[in-house]
Amino acid sequence: MLNVVIFGAPGSGKGTQSERIIKEYGLHHISTGEVLRDHIARGTELGKIADGYISRGQLIPDDLMVRVLASVLDDNPEKTSKGVIFDGFPRTIPQAESLKKMLAERGSEVHAVIGLEVPEEELIRRMLQRGKETGRADDNIDTITKRLKVYHEQTAPLREYYEQEGNYLPVEGCGDVDRIFFDIKTRINKRT
């Protein structure tokens, strides 16, 4: 089993590289963004609550996200048997601690944290371009600015947390997508 957290600022390429990691290692992808957007689109109670936070560029409360992730793991044992990739979670140190506890209760752990490192100007450029191409409402300059501020204040400290845990693997997130994936694969393979 291999549990991977893909870590980085909004627009760092987490979704793109997650797809490649999934294909290479047979992992189940858990994108909190996709899970939450699905709930929002279906108009579930969770979706309505989440939409209120997301539309203001804020993070979803920890207890809500941990319950959602636990249910994804518990409801899909055949899909999660080789491991999972967490995309978009954890985003704070308390979330990382909750994830560690939730996985330990299931006899597992986070094995590798892939940190995609991208300069802020490039992040903004990528998200504005993505907004033009996909029509994602949250890819506008005001929301992007808020999301990056939240990232720097609340999520960036996770790097140090996972460095202390001994499983943070930094990867330069600019340039050729294949080269970035090669670097990721090299770092994961050294861990397994």
The catalytic site residues sit at 14, 91, 130, 136, 147
Q: Which residues contact 126 (CB under 8 A, 6 or more apart)?
A: 11, 13, 118
Q: Which residues contact 144 (CB under 8 A, 6 or more apart)?
A: 10, 11, 123, 124, 127, 128
| H helix or E strand, kind and range, residue 135 | none
Asked if residue 60 lies in contact with residue 91, where contact means CB atoms within 8 angstroms, the answer is no
Of the CA atoms within 13 Å of residue 95, those in its CB half-sphere come to 23
Start-end of H helices in 43-176:
45-54, 62-75, 77-80, 93-105, 120-134, 141-150, 158-165
Distance CA 168, CA 7 (A): 9
